[in-house]
Structure 1
Amino acid sequence: MDITDRTVFIAGATSGIGRELARRFAAAGSAVIVGGRRTDLLDELAAEGFATVPIDVTDQGSVDRARDTILRDHPGLDTVVTMSGTGVPEDLRDPAHFSAAQETIDTNLLGTIRVIDAFTPHLIGRGAGTIITVSSGIGFLPFPLMPTYAASKAAVHAYSEALRAQLDGTGVEVSELVPPAVATTPEQAKLNPRALDLGEFATEVMDLLRADPTPREILVKGVLMHRWAERDGTYDELVAQRSQALASLPGRR
């Protein structure tokens, strides 16, 4: 895709990967609208020159208001990125985990669907555009410490595949960004030395997005071991390795 002259809305771009990709799209020449819940961070990004809009992807009214604001001020919108996400460790032996599971599904899966539904009629009406969903390497190679996060991202992958098939012939393309672990803060880099550097990750993502046609899946090199674990026969071994993190749960050894 041509990233030099797009009008891009990124839901969930006030921090982390979303914020970095917003800056990369803008640096390439695209107009970027940043959406998020935290007004203080939206104010910071507005000071950088970004258009901003409050949005809570778990609230249908908030999503609808954000859509109306964006399409009023940016009727040429042609790219939507569903970046909003959350996930925490869960102990599946403790039923108290359910509230965390519910929040994760509501944000990662239903939030993705809400945002897509809000903008799909506009993009179809234009006869052209791009939807970029965001799943995760964990959706293909589960991290047992975060089971609902993995399930939600596997669901986003399946939904993206179905969405692409249903939008075939409309001029609207669907691309799925599949991040591995990315160190979005120095603290995260210390906690997970294997996590990719945010800047290096973003550079690789933007290079992949520039391809024509836009790849169906945006796969940086660091996520290939996750994406193709079953094909490569490494799935069981890698899940067993990742299961060692369960020892960090209270009462586990």
Structure 2
Amino acid sequence: MKTSGNTILMTGGGSGIGEALAHRFHDRGDTVIIVGRRLEALQRAAKGRDRMYPMILDVEDAAAVDQFAKQVVVDFPALNVLFNNAGIMTFEDLTRRRDLADAEATIAINILGPIRLTNALVGHLAGQPDAAIVTVTSGLAYVPLVAAPTYSATKAAIHSYTVSLRTQFAGKVEVIEVAPPGVQTDLTPGQANRPGYMPLDAFADAVAAQFAQQPTPHEILVDEVNFLRLAEREGRFDETLKTLTDRAAKQRADGERHE
């Protein structure tokens, strides 16, 4: 991926990791289209940045994705990087019958969203010089957070999908995966201040540094995620799963006590 001069479409660009990375890319000289469902958040993220453009899109809506893709290549014909970042996460109790609306929304946004938007823009990107597709997965793609089973499964699915995408596009479009650890964002209640999670600015700075490398790594992995990413390879999957599960339960209990 070029180290500046890209035109990047960043989904989920109005907050959290998407906003922080959009600012890093903009600061280095890229044009960034930030996309999300809340115009106010997007406008706040773009304020004072003359090459950052907010656009509304709900990636859960298949028809809206197609219409958006047609319009964005008209408005931004130089678009050469798709950054699939939008995602949601909810906690679930699988041991009792429940309303599956949250699980279905998680699948629609976290899996179908990137698949649909990539599909809608693939023809355009394939014809662009220095084109790249970036997916944001998670360390939980490799060791699940059992309290968030659908979220973890969606990230595992997108990791697998990214491997296939990279292989099919070899030599044509660069495909990059960003796998964050737990980062201090508003993804879940209380997470923005949760001890043990990586500060957002530190994460964004570390990711930006790896995107500045040439060639760009196929996997963007900060040191903090290797506890999860390498667990199975290093023969400690079961131990890591237990540690992650116990730690998450304690963090949630501590959070509830302070509410």
Query: How high is the TM-score relative to the length of structure 2?
Result: 0.90
Give the C-alpha shift of residue 169 in structure 1: 3.0
Equivalent-residue separation in structure 1 for 2:26 and 2:82 (angstroms)? 14
Q: Corresponding residue for 2:28?
A: 28
User: Is the 1:144–1:246 contact (alpha carbons within 8 Å) kept by the matching residues of 2?
Assistant: no
Equivalent-residue separation in structure 2 for 1:143 and 1:207 (angstroms)? 28
Q: Give 1:86-105 correspondences, 5 Å limit.
A: 86-105=88-107
Equivalent-residue separation in structure 2 for 1:35 and 1:93 (angstroms)? 36
Tell me whether 1:14 sits opposite 2:17 in the alignment.
Answer: no
User: Is the 2:15–2:45 contact (alpha carbons within 8 Å) kept by the matching residues of 1?
Assistant: no
Give the C-alpha shift of residue 187 in structure 1: 4.3
Tell me whether 1:179 sits opposite 2:188 in the alignment.
Answer: no
Equivalent-residue separation in structure 1 for 2:67 and 2:37 (angstroms)? 13
Give the C-alpha shift of residue 21 in structure 1: 0.5
Change (3 A) 1:131 1:243: same
SS of aligned partner of 1:176: strand
User: Is the 1:135–1:179 contact (alpha carbons within 8 Å) kept by the matching residues of 2?
Assistant: yes
Instruction: Give a deviation string over 1:24-70, Cα, whole Å, max 9, x none.
Output: 00000100000000021122234333211111111112212322222
SS of aligned partner of 1:156: helix
Q: Corresponding residue for 1:148?
A: 150
Match of 1:208 among 207, 210, 215: 210
Q: Corresponding residue for 2:256?
A: none
Deviation >4 Å, runs of 4+: 245-249
Equivalent-residue separation in structure 2 for 1:119 and 1:157 (angstroms)? 19
Q: Give 1:21-170 correspondences, 5 Å limit.
A: 21-49=21-49, 50-170=52-172
Stretch moving more, 161-170 or 174-183: 161-170
Q: How many residues align?
A: 247
User: Is the 1:91–1:97 contact (alpha carbons within 8 Å) kept by the matching residues of 2?
Assistant: no
Q: Which one has a larger percent helix, Structure 1 or Structure 2?
A: 1
Identity of aligned residues (%): 38
SS of aligned partner of 1:230: coil
Give the C-alpha shift of residue 188 in structure 1: 2.3
Give the C-alpha shift of residue 199 in structure 1: 0.7
Change (3 A) 1:33 1:59: same
The residue identity in structure 2 corresponding to 1:90 is E
SS of aligned partner of 2:10: strand
Change (3 A) 1:187 1:99: closer
The residue identity in structure 1 corresponding to 2:48 is E
Stretch moving more, 66-75 or 16-25: 66-75
Match of 1:188 among 184, 187, 191: 191
Query: How high is the TM-score relative to the length of structure 1?
Result: 0.92
Stretch moving more, 59-68 or 42-51: 42-51
The gaps in structure 1 that reach 5 residues or longer are: none
Give the C-alpha shift of residue 97 in structure 1: 4.8
Equivalent-residue separation in structure 2 for 1:75 and 1:189 (angstroms)? 36
Equivalent-residue separation in structure 1 for 2:45 and 2:74 (angstroms)? 20
Give the C-alpha shift of residue 83 in structure 1: 0.5
Q: Corresponding residue for 2:4?
A: 4
Stretch moving more, 116-125 or 146-155: 116-125
